[in-house]
Homo-oligomer: A and B are copies of this chain.
Amino acid sequence: MSASIKSEFQSCIQACQECLIDCKVCLAKMAGMKSMNDCPYCCIQCIEVLEASIGLMAADSKFSKEQCALCAKVCEYCAEQCEQHDHDHCKRCAESCRKCAEECRKMAA
């Protein structure tokens, strides 16, 4: 992680970036597959808020906390959906979402 990033943002940005890749992988691998729940629809939404959270934190924005608070909610929702699937990429995505939600809640506090 860049030395330019404020130390209080480092672990949250890292968690968001890992979660972003795992959501993008899950979304791409689930494309065209039948699903009985919101995975990968949840990943689409998670990607949007993750990118905003990363961007605002990297800019040291005063709006970072609010964006991260919303991001935590979307990550929890995404984790709940993806963890119901047995695919490796879904399990992995759910795990990253849980971790990211925790980091985002800390940021938002």
Using a CB–CB distance below 8 Å, which chain A residues touch chain B?
1-5, 13, 17-18, 21-22, 24-41, 44-45, 47-49, 51-52, 54-56, 58-61, 63, 66-67, 70, 73-74, 88-89, 92-93, 96
User: Which listed residue, B37, B56, B58, touches A21 by the CB 8 Å rule?
Assistant: B58
A45 with B22, Cβ < 8 A, contacts A33-B34, A92-B4, A96-B2 known: no
Query: Which B residues touch A32, using CB under 8 A?
Result: 30, 33-41
A-B contact pairs, 18 of them (CB 8 A): A2-B96, A4-B93, A24-B58, A24-B59, A25-B59, A28-B44, A31-B41, A32-B33, A32-B40, A32-B41, A33-B34, A34-B34, A44-B59, A48-B52, A48-B56, A49-B52, A51-B52, A52-B52
